[in-house]
Amino acid sequence: MKLPNWRSLLVPTAIIVAAAGLACGTAFAQAGSDAEEAQNSANPDLWPSMGQNLALDRNSKLTQINTKTVKHLQMVWSQSTGALRGQEGQPIVVNVGGKPMMYFVSAWPNIVQALDLSDPDHPVEVWNYLKKTDRDLSAVPRACCDTVNRGLNYADGKVFFNTLDGYLIALDAMTGKVDWEVKHAYPDHGETVTNAPLIANGKVIVGFGGDEFAARGRVEAYDLATGKLDWRYWDNGTDEEIGLTPETNKANPQFGTAGQNTGMTYPGDEWKRGGGAAWAWYSYDPELKLVYYGSGNPGLWSPSYRCGANPPTQEACNSGKYDNKWSMTLFARNVDTGKVVWAYQMTPFDQWDYDGVNEPILVDMKIDGRTRKTLVHFDRNGFAYVLDRTNGDLLEAHKYVTVNWAEKVDMKTGRPVKVYEHSPLMVNQMAQACPSAMGGKDQQPASVDPKDPQIFYVPTNNWCMQDTPQTRTSMQQGVVYVFANVYMYEDKAGVSGRVKAFNVVTGKTVWDVPDKYPNWGGTLNTNGGLVFYGSLGGDFRALDRKTGRILWSRKLGSGIIGNPISYEIKGHQYVSILAGIGGWIGLPVTAGLDMNDKYGAIGATAMAKATGLTKIPQGGALYTFRLED
């Protein structure tokens, strides 16, 4: 299938909008979407968006299921997703047409299901949707880290979701009919989509993945009512292409400013394959009108090719001249214009694949006696960052797992103090580093109770790696663009995952729960004093928030990489979780890879073999629990 040149697309060709009433409808959507989301999120009976709310705190105010009653929790129903592999997302629960409705989307081929929860113990599927035309099957082998999906969103009577092969689709929430669709990512350019779209101020914000296939990251905003493109910016390139302005980083010019084309700090034209894709989670502050997200790794994993120094020494490559901006960066963009208000690069000149895409959680907390509007981010590089979300001030940066690639983060410059012994650089020269490329935490979301804003409930990976850069053999987009042999192993034998309560101000772990299996799913914290999460071994658990003690556990039909939600209907509180092995760590199983190849799936086969994931059956399903009568 021949695709149009996306660089020339100003308005998606699939959208035909009548001129009459367009301006009025657009204005209504912009005025209404934030208010609707705020109203839905304030209702503890619902779970209306990815993290329950735009702040992504994943906190449920419900208390019926609590530390005393959780022992009576029982499964009441389950539903297949229609896909063999698992999902790194969660359902949503909203009121539509006076009915409580649940929506969820599967991994590839991205089947959407709508369940009527009027009888919450016996849900009825009222429609399902699968796009059957113009599908691009080449997206499947180009999905770097499995064909997962992180969920969908709801606003203005529509359900919005992405397909792996690059479509953003708006469905009528009552009928499942297509309202509009646009093609915004192209697998032949290395671009595939696994993230959920963000709804903010009448716009649908989307990105894609593909750093391992030489994609060039960008983020786009589409009009919620019509699908018309509002703005598009890249995460590398010229100042104009990125959206930098003279006001960008005004409070922190040391992080980089406009006027120097800092987004081109690559040798030659390497920035055109510079990665930096925003493939995971987005949050939004409706008062500040700022959209927050993190960008991915800067293209190939053989770092000397991203350094123009001759010879490429550690000192020269890490001087700041070749930071490969703006990969590994937390962005704050104005929702109306897309312009960058502030940007902070966590891992300049990345040498480990420490993607910065993990969730930016918004919470207000006291630091040094002053209440700050903060953004908290547990990065793959092993540091937990706290920034002022109004201007990008760096307030805290603490190690939350074993980290040896850096001594610390210099709080004045914001730059990590690297340990070159653990920094891969030259071709065929191995370096050991902790954490592994999968990070101290990958995309699996943490959670926090806004009333206790310093304590976060964090699912962590506990692995190190040996990384050997390889010779680059290709420079073509859409072709594997890694060029490294990576072997991953447990930081502590027999413990590959932990869930911990972590204080982001003091940098201290309050408690942690070790696990033989990796924790690739997110956490849910509740006002009933609980933390819910799932293990890749298939164990769905409830912990005491104060102590970390396991109060309840059930074995599900497959490994869990999804995120729990909670809602209440007709006087009963429910907890739902998507199960099904998958993701980067599960890819060796779902793709049937050779487990004797320790470098397979960029190091994942060694971890899958060591932790026994080969014994975990496949199968995507949604499980729902409530207290027994």
Write the pLDDT tens digit of every residue in 300-351.
999 999 999 999 999 999 999 999 999 999 999 999 999 999 999 999 999 9
Residue 31 confidence (pLDDT): 54
Q: What is the pLDDT of residue 30?
A: 56
**Greatest alpha-carbon span in the chain:** 72
How confident is residue 12, by pLDDT bands cut at 50, 70 and 90? very low
**Cα Rg of the chain, angstroms:** 22
Residue 233: its pLDDT value, please?
Answer: 98
Kindly report, residue by residue over 432-465, the tens digit of the pLDDT: 999 999 999 999 999 999 999 999 999 999 999 9
What's the half-sphere exposure (Cβ side, CA atoms, 13 Å) at 411? 8
User: What type of residue is 477?
Assistant: Q
- The runs of H, that is alpha helices, within 236-369 are 239-242, 314-317
In sequence order, what are the residues at sequence separation of 6 or more whose Cβ sits closer than 8 angstroms to the Cβ of residue 169?
131, 160, 161, 162, 163, 178, 180, 181
Catalytic residues: 212, 297, 353
Which of the four pLDDT bands, split at 50, 70 and 90, describes residue 17?
A: very low
**595-598: long-range contacts, CB 8 A cutoff, minimum separation 24:** 598/487
Question: Which pLDDT value is given to residue 604?
Answer: 87
Tokens read off for 276: 């930096």
CA distance 231 to 219: 8
- In terms of phi and psi (left: phi > 0; alpha: psi -120 to 50; beta: otherwise), the region of 294 is beta
Query: What pLDDT shows up at residue 597?
Result: 86
Q: List, for residues 275-310, the tens digit of each pLDDT value.
A: 999 999 999 999 999 999 999 999 999 999 999 999
Q: What are the residue boundaries of the structural domains of the chain, listed by start?
A: 6-627
Specify which residues 282 forms β-bridges with: 293
Q: Which of 503, 565, 510 is nearest to 532 (CA)?
A: 565
- Closest C-alpha among 128, 170, 130, 199 to residue 12: 170
The dihedral region occupied by 249, where left means phi > 0, alpha psi between -120 and 50, and beta the remainder, is left
The runs of H, that is alpha helices, within 182-302 are 239-242
Q: Give pLDDT tens digits for 209-251.
A: 999 999 999 999 999 999 999 999 999 999 999 999 999 999 9
Judged against a pLDDT cut of 60, whether residue 177 lies above it is answered with yes
Answer yes or no: are the C-beta atoms of 433 and 77 closer than 8 Å: no
E strands, 336-415, in order: 340-345, 361-367, 370-378, 383-388, 394-399, 406-409
Structure tokens at 408: 């610390």
CATH architecture label of 6-627: 8 Propeller (2.140)
CA distances from 344 to 318, 340, 348, 383 (A): 16, 11, 10, 14
pLDDT at 274 over 70: yes
Report the distance separating Cα 450 and Cα 432, nearest Å: 38
The reported pTM is 0.94
Overall average pLDDT of the 534-548 stretch: 97
